[in-house]
Amino acid sequence: MSWKTEVFDGELLPLIAILRGIMPAEVEQHVEVLIEAGFNAIEIPLNSPDWQTSIKAVSAKYGARALIGGGTVLTPQNVDQLAELGGKLVVTPNTSAPVIRRAVELGMVVCAGCATASEAFTALEAGAQGLKIFPSSAFGPDYIKALKAVLPPEIPVFAVGGVTPENLHLFMAAGCIGAGLGSDLYRAGQPVSRTQQQARAFIDAYQGALQ
């Protein structure tokens, strides 16, 4: 199972690494072990310290190997900033049609946050190529399964919020193509070895869920 986009030349593993709170001085080390583990979609939230420096550096070094971008993108101006820094992935916590439309205009990949059918279809009408159900752990797999029943089957849906290696298979069984992985993959300040360990755990869990 994978997802494709014209923005990135090749198939993307449908696991988005969320590096909330990461510092520019450490970002390349963590991204390196994530890519080595098999990740090729990296999100640096815009409420991280000096996110502009991190995204610019990672986009320049790893942009050919991974889809790099920003999360917690709230305004069209944020989208413009991301594009200038080389970011190609836009992840939102909410459903904002102006943000989605601006990102699509700039040829970026949008994974839009939503919780209801109304929000999901608003995001799709604005041009979002993917949806993230947030917070997934609060809604649960049964809710996502019901929501998926009314969504276009070709639209990739990601579970975000509270996803762990232990429960990833439940969300995938509910119809998610994959997930956005936050604090169980990376917490601000953790050593690279911990990121490497959790990256492998999530890859193993994803592969196990496909069997």
- Catalytically annotated residues: 43, 132
DSSP state, residue 91: E
Bridge partners, 67 (sequence order): 41
Contacts for 44 with CB less than 8 Å, ≥ 6 apart: 19, 20, 22, 27, 51, 54, 55, 58, 68, 69, 70, 71
Alpha carbons 55 and 60: distance in angstroms, whole number? 8
| Contact yes or no for 211/174 (Cβ under 8 A) | no
Q: How far is CA 135 from the centre of its chain?
A: 13
